[in-house]
Structure 1
């Protein structure tokens, strides 16, 4: 079945242009654009390049460490689990995707083995995520690796239906004796810190030293705001630096404010018994955040 679910969402971006706007029309209602977002099963003839692009965004500076072509093929092959979200037509590229891979089944495909080794290594370097490596190595655990990302301008309201739909699909797959009966879900996402340029940082260090203060730990921000809510249901969670982190920082925001953006990876380990509650929590969070 191609079309899985449709959901009409208003475009609420306050930067939407108004035609023929002038000072005399400042009190007029802003134009609203209604967009139909639809969920689809993966299609091998359509989705390869779109999924690969979103995977490259998800893994950011470390994307080249993985065979993203093989990973895209693997996601598309299990087309009854997870969804793409598109606008207008199934033939278009995905604006968002969500899937879960069984990374505990043997033998592992090379790209899956790469991901497991990478996430295990990253988790051991952070105090809040060390349990991830233990679970990935445990013979008693069956881990579902959740991969998801979306274009930055996608409204968060389209995301809860994708998660709910995937839960239904997992339940149906388990009834059909397919290998999706997980003990844990490992969600891979992205986060970031806002940072000053190197010159700005040096100047701030001098100012703090003069005041007798030390460096402040920057606040973790989320590319996907619902991750902050889902994190509350995790047995382990935390951000990690990319292997190819370097010193580069996205400066696009500096046109509007002083700070740039330093991306990081982010992972959450959720026990299977709490997974549905986590999905319900982000649905409630997204719904309440959308209220005027």
Structure 2
């Protein structure tokens, strides 16, 4: 859907003087750069008879989540917990009710006001009594079949819950990778600012995350767990580039089969869409940010 060169955060975010200077765009005005959208629809012919190459110009912008984003965010999160019937609407309400930490990506002047990405971090302890979080907890505990990891997951969802940030990151599959470094930089900067700027001590404390929990998806080779299966570099295909870094830095992780399956290419015909849960110590986030920049800048 998109192919861009982007540089920034805070297009409509607050003008916070703490925002690092090297994350600001070089050009004045709105924080965005020329982007190309690839139109893959079948009906993309030119009405005036001129040849149309399927590429149009568009500008992406970063916004605080707001109530009117409900349907767009809900669409992105439809398969967040596979095909489980759960309080997804309540989960979206939690995300949109936390505008100081979190970002949605839209296209400038888009009449449909579509959402192309949502990124946020939610304190599991703060929202533990909500039905959506109870559903999420039940889903994860049922999905984890590794005994050594199950005990660690149970701690995350129990005694340690107030220290855990659920890092929610969903987007259209082919969102331009150049957006990722400023997107994640902004998220973790906002978390840091929230520990000082939130109006109450309780809210400030809720953003002192010691750990992050990431729920994502990968493609895993169908013979990955067999003795004569494929080599390590053929076992996993990461849908999101940053997940490979998260996995490398994770303290523990587990994967599980999914009922929901996406359309696969010939290259992925021997792979299955698989759930992946990762725990990352918050002290590793600066390394993650550096590695993400290096990966995308290559």
Shorter chain as normaliser: what TM range? Answer: 0.7 to 0.9
Aligned to 1:27: none
Structure number with greater Rg is 1
Deviation at 1:173, TM superposition (A): 1.2
Does the C-alpha gap of structure 1 residues 221 and 180 become closer, same or farther in structure 2, counting only changes over 3 Å? same
Q: Which residue of 1 aligns with 2:3?
A: none
**Pick from 237, 253, 259: which aligns with 2:253?**
237
Q: Comparing both structures, which one devotes a greater share of its residues to helix?
A: 1
Query: Could you say if the C-alpha distance between residues 73 and 127 of structure 1 is closer, same or farther in structure 2, counting changes exceeding 3 Å?
Result: same
Deviation at 1:283, TM superposition (A): 2.3
The Cα shift of 1:153 comes to 2.0
Q: Which runs of 5+ in 1 are unaligned?
A: 22-29, 197-212
TM-score relative to the length of structure 2: 0.73
Q: 1:273 aligns with which of 258, 283, 286?
A: 283
Distance 2:108 2:142 in 1: 41
The match for 1:190 among 210, 217, 222 is: 217
Q: C-alpha distance in 1, partners of 2:45/2:291? A: 35
Structure 2 residue matching 1:59: 3-state secondary structure: coil
Q: For 1:253, which of 257, 265, 272 is the aligned residue? A: 265
| Cα distance, 1:222 vs structure 2 | 1.4
Cα distance in 2 between the residues matched to 1:180 and 1:220: 32
5+ residue gaps, structure 2, are 1-9, 14-29
Determine the C-alpha separation between the residues in 2 that align with 1:57 and 1:7.
30
Instruction: String of CA shifts for 1:199-220, please: whole Å, max 9, x gaps.
Output: xxxxxxxxxxxxxx96626712
* Secondary structure, counterpart of 1:92 in structure 2: coil
The answer on whether the counterparts of 1:192 and 1:264 sit within 8 Å (CA) in structure 2 is yes
When residues 133 and 140 of structure 1 are mapped into structure 2, their CA distance, relative to the original with a 3 A threshold, is closer
CA RMSD of aligned residues (A): 3.5
Paired residues in the alignment total 256
Question: CA shift at 1:105, angstroms?
Answer: 3.0
1:78 alignment partner, one of 98, 116, 120: 98
Superposition pairs of residues 121-270 of structure 1, within 5 angstroms:
121-125=142-146, 131-139=152-160, 142-175=163-196, 176=198, 177=201, 178=203, 179-193=206-220, 216=229, 219-242=235-258, 245=259, 250-254=262-266, 259=269, 262-270=272-280
- CA shift, 1:115, in A, is 1.1
